[in-house]
Amino acid sequence: MSKFESSNKTHVMFYINALNGGGAEMHFLRLLVNLDPARFHATLVVGRTGGAYDQRVPDNVSTIYLEEKSHWKLVRGLRRVIVKDRPHLLFSVMDNANLVCLAATRLLRSPPKTVVGVQIPPSVQYGGPWWSRGAVLLRSIRALYPRADCVVALSRGVQGDLLSISPALADRSEVIYNAGFDKDVVAQSRQVIERPPDEQPLLVACGRLTRQKGFPYLINAMVEIRKRLPAHLWIVGEGEDRDALTRQIRETGLSSCVRLLGFQQNPYRFMSAADVFILSSLWEGFGNVIVEAMACGVPVVSTACPHGPEEILCHEESGLLVPVADSRSLAAAVLRVLDDDQLRNRLSEVGQRRALEFSAEQVARSYEATFLRVVGEYPDVRIAA
């Protein structure tokens, strides 16, 4: 018998393959930390160590690292933990982890309830030939996600995309926006950094250095911006496109004013120092960094990419939205904010108020309601292998 079966607390087991340094992983950790301890007992299972956010797991959270890499070894390892600890509910985010969870519970006679979170539009992320890894993932999502008790999409756009590939999810999917920021964001944003000299404008962007984030269009926008103002651009993040972006920066003559800062444990100090925060993505699931920047009091210029930014920002009020893959429009919007003190102040003030709607505390309450609805207020679940 699990030690939690005699308690009125609902035991939620959080699962993720690795705590890498992305927005989905940060959202996952914020939910874990902010779950009400009076109503829930949370445990954490991680597929393997070595993630950038491993050190962010609180010491008081019971954590198990499976130390497996292959999909099927992760499935078997997670199944063993489920049988031993008997959680009432299994929760995961990100498609690879979701598929591990759904496979791990299949062979249990009385499995825990499952809630899986979808962080990106699957049809956009996993397009390709039928034999490609992405296409295999897409078929797996279509086959396995209807077996979940609830599928949570982080935006209405992502929910629509999900239903387009799996209509069977219509009666078991819902939208809960990501936990965009918590008290640590505000506290860490106060750390002072050295800005560019002579009060030259500072622009900041954050994200993995991949095609999705549209950084080549942002660098080309900087060429236009520098014709008017001696602005600097700092990009926080690491990824496979670093060499290509470094080459583009050199070839456009921007080496003196564009910096690739790599992964940063505290990106918020750079956000708070910025005159404008920029999201140049070609697509998103939500756009956590937009909320983080708004919480830091920084005006935001973002592409109106699918999906997320248009659900976070009200154009002209809490941010400016521009077309996707349009360097000239991106440059014009940034220059407009830098030139107009009244606009800049309005975007900052309204943005901070809007960010409160995505606080980790508020989003955790929404997830708690979903967890309780799925398992029942006082669940009596017994699992047998």
Question: What confidence tens digit (pLDDT) does each residue in 136-173 have?
Answer: 999 999 999 999 999 999 999 999 999 999 999 999 99
Q: Mean pLDDT over residues 343-352, rounded? A: 98
Using pLDDT thresholds of 50, 70 and 90, give the confidence band for residue 130.
confident
The mean pLDDT value for 259-268 works out to 97
**What is the Cα–Cα distance from 10 to 380, expressed in whole angstroms?**
9
With 60 as the cut, is the pLDDT of residue 81 above it? Answer: yes
Output the DSSP codes for 125-138: HT-S-TTSHHHHHH
Condensed to tens digits (0 to 9), the pLDDT of residues 34-56 reads 999 999 999 999 999 999 999 99
Percent with pLDDT over 70 in the chain = 96
Burial of residue 10 (CB within 10 Å: 0-12, 13-18, 19+) is buried
Asked if residue 385 has pLDDT above 90, the reply is no
In this structure, CATH architecture of domain 183-358: 3-Layer(aba) Sandwich (3.40)
Residue spans of the domains in the chain: they are 10-179+360-375, 183-358
Return the pLDDT at 315. 97
- Judge if 10-179+360-375 and 183-358 fold alike in CATH terms: yes
The mean of the pLDDT values for the chain is 94
Q: What is the mean pLDDT of residues 112-117?
A: 98
Neighbouring residues of 201: CB distance < 8 A, sequence distance ≥ 6:
229, 230, 231, 232, 275, 276, 338
Task: Please name the residues in contact with 160: beta carbons below 8 A apart, sequence gap of 6 or more.
Answer: 307
For the chain, where are the E strands, in sequence order?
10-16, 40-46, 62-65, 89-93, 113-118, 150-153, 173-175, 202-206, 232-236, 258-262, 276-279, 300-303, 320-322
- Give residue 7's pLDDT: 65
User: Lowest mean pLDDT: which of 24-33, 129-138, 185-194, 367-376?
Assistant: 129-138
Which residues are CB-contacts of 343 (< 8 A; sequence separation ≥ 6)? 299, 336, 337
Confidence bin at 114 (pLDDT 50/70/90): very high
User: For the segment 290-328, what is each residue's pLDDT rounded down to a tens digit?
Assistant: 999 999 999 999 999 999 999 999 999 999 999 999 999
Q: Is the pLDDT of residue 79 over 60?
A: yes
Q: What CATH fold (topology level) applies to the domain 10-179+360-375? A: Rossmann fold (3.40.50)
**Whether residue 363 has pLDDT greater than 50:** yes
